[in-house]
Amino acid sequence: MSAGAAAGVREGDGARDAGLPRLRRADLAALLLYAVAAVLVTWPLAASPGRAVSVRGDYFINVWNAWWMDTAVLERGESPWWTDALHHPRGLSLAKHTLSPLNSLAVGALSRVVGVHDSFKAVLLVHVALGGWFMYLLAVRLTGSRAGALVAGTLFAATPYRTCYVAQMNVGTLEFLPLALFFMVGAWRTGRAGQALGVALAAALVAATSLYYLVFAALLGGLVLLGGRTLDRSVPWSVGARRLLAAGAAAALAVVLVAWPTVAGMTGLDGGAPGAALEEPEADAGGFDPVSDRRELRSNDLLGFSWVGPPERLVVSWPTMLGWTTVLVLLLGAGVFRERAAWAVAALLFFVLGLGPELQVGGEPTGVPLPGAWLADLPVLAMLRKPDRFYVLVALFVALLAAGAWRLVLARLTDARHRAGATAVVVVLLAAELSPAPLSTFEVDVSPRLATLRDTGARSVVDLPQDAGRPRDARWNLGQTVHGLPMPGGYVTNLAVDPERKAVARAWRDADALLGRGRADALVRLVESEDVDLVVLHTTEAVKREAGPLDGRTIWAPFALADAAVAEMRQRGHIEARPFARGVLAARRRALEAAFGAPIAEDDRVVVFDAR
């Protein structure tokens, strides 16, 4: 055996560990590496104080989540699962809303020190760093190769998937999935209590950040249960299965303790309809149909991952998403597909499920049904309404394959310096290729007048124009984080709003439409019946943004060459604020003055009327 091959075998001896392996200096150094990498691959987020990472409605609702958790938990000491801040005066259950309580609490608490936009970015950087490190630890446990694990961790930390969902903290919290699998493998192999508690901890963290990924964690557990013998043939299947099921029971208990309101609401265990079975959202006035977006556009394409602005709709090819560097590593260490065939099968399984209910090729539907269509009819799995997110599991198993492949490549090198240098080159290439840097940042424009509304003694406020609680209304959630007053409507996950509240929200939208024609009578009736004190007329309206040059394209170039435009498409979203036409704004103002008298405050962005 050559010296290089012997070194590769020695490095792989740690693939079978006895429980939780001791952290070495190299492992702690890897954490530091990923912390630095998190700053670099997301640059200039760490050097843009006061600026937001996005201006789409999803970002604004994440900011609102942080404000609400801070208000309910840290200020009032109350449960955050019911809010009196939205849909005033009825209030609203947040059991089916993507509150992401752990993320929101962390951002909310930190925002007291550095401001909400900077605290959001700080928590995002933590997720990137931990995503890389937990993937690294998992790869060390399964391959024994720390060099290969560095490649795997870099791929998972810098994945363009995170860039696609940079505005959505809950969807971008990826690190607890490899952490869960790390402890599942340990539980199967050793049966130690610490490993079972690790599974429970990871499950609790997933439930507290993204309930969606809790289903993914359960699927990973199912794969370990089915393929446990491939992890360690010295462990009889019955023994490993018993150990894993015990860990799963501990995990289920942890999830119930951490997130029972959301689990019960989304599964229908609270007596209501399961989240996935609730009324579908209606198409908005700009022509964007969220039903179509959910069922078709959010499925992946045979050629690549579907990026949906909207209005842009494009495909980022699989080698671009995974990295051409990754493809090269897998080709150089192709023996990994024979050595770790189970991982390749798992990646292929989730790839197929990610294609959704119908095969699409180059952005065009083919009419060919796929297994993803079955998910809508299965208990619990019906929650997986956006098949594109299966990409997380594809990336996880491809990262493990890349770790194993790189171990095989290094076994051919006889010199330790050559192995270290080659690993450094691959890690830097992969990070540079997948990094979205430089990311755009945005100045969020909120009228300073909103901060003075509490001084009026008002108990509630309505912002105009209203759009029935759809994404256009997300900027009113952002405004509420400034003035803190309850308001009718507001933007939350569609599944959280019952038919009664949707009907009231539509009534506000219809009254606002009449106001645009100079009639305030319907608005006045709603103000009285819904106990609203202040009416804030904004001088801008949210309109559908025009599609850019990316629309309809399939991107094959390395991500670093296309990332700026692709990432900004997702950061901006499909709507933007534009000033009302002068005549329209004047008509709206005249109608409000006739109904409520002269405004009590105004600037170039808002006009405030007292309706008491």
pLDDT per position as a tens digit, 492-519: 988 889 999 999 999 999 999 999 899 9
What are the helix and strand counts (H, E) for the chain? 23, 13
Final residue before a domain boundary, out of 246, 274, 302: 274
In a domain, 466, yes or no: yes
- When mean pLDDT is compared across 195-209, 380-394, 505-519, 526-540, the lowest value belongs to 380-394
Q: How deeply is 15 buried, as exposed, middle or buried, from its count of CB atoms within 10 A (0-12, 13-18, 19+)? A: middle
In a domain, 197, yes or no: yes
Residues 411-462 have pLDDT tens digits of 999 999 999 999 999 999 999 999 999 999 999 989 999 999 999 999 999 9
Identify the pLDDT of residue 88.
96
Say if CB 545 and CB 572 are below 8 A apart. Answer: yes
The answer on pLDDT for 349 being more than 90 is: yes
The answer on pLDDT for 296 being more than 80 is: no
| 282 or 366, which is more confident | 366
The answer on pLDDT for 279 being more than 50 is: no
Final residue before a domain boundary, out of 274, 293, 315: 274
Rounded to 5 degrees, what angle do the CA atoms 436, 550, 290 make?
95
The answer on pLDDT for 280 being more than 60 is: no
The answer on pLDDT for 15 being more than 80 is: no
- Take residue 160 and report the two structure tokens written for it: 């363009």
In a domain, 62, yes or no: no
In a domain, 397, yes or no: no
- Take residue 296 and report the two structure tokens written for it: 């078709």
Dist. CA 352–CA 357, nearest whole Å: 10
In a domain, 583, yes or no: yes
Dist. CA 609–CA 595, nearest whole Å: 9
What percent of the chain shows pLDDT beyond 90?
A: 78
Identify the pLDDT of residue 270.
56
SS3 string, 168-228, reads: CCCCCCCCHHHHHHHHHHHHHHHCCHHHHHHHHHHHHHHHHHCHHHHHHHHHHHHHHHHHH
- Take residue 250 and report the two structure tokens written for it: 């501990």
Give the mean pLDDT of 127-134: 98
The domain total for the chain is: 2
Residues 177-236 have pLDDT tens digits of 999 999 999 999 999 999 999 999 999 999 999 988 999 999 999 999 999 888 888 999
- Domain residue limits at 252: 175-274
Say if CB 544 and CB 286 are below 8 A apart. Answer: yes
Final residue before a domain boundary, out of 247, 274, 301: 274
In a domain, 240, yes or no: yes
| 291 or 272, which is more confident | 272
Residue 464: which of 449, 452, 479, 444 has the closest Cα? 479
Dihedral sign, Cα of residue 236, residue 238, residue 242, residue 244: positive
In a domain, 477, yes or no: yes
The answer on pLDDT for 293 being more than 80 is: no
Q: What is the average pLDDT score of the chain?
A: 89
Tell me the β-bridge partners of 579: 540
List, as one string, the DSSP characters of 334-399: TTHHHHTHHHHHHHHHHHHHHT-SEEEETTEEEEEE-GGGGGGGSTTGGG---GGGGHHHHHHHHH
In a domain, 279, yes or no: no
Say if CB 90 and CB 501 are below 8 A apart. Answer: yes
φ, ψ of residue 53 to 5 degrees: the values are: -85, -10
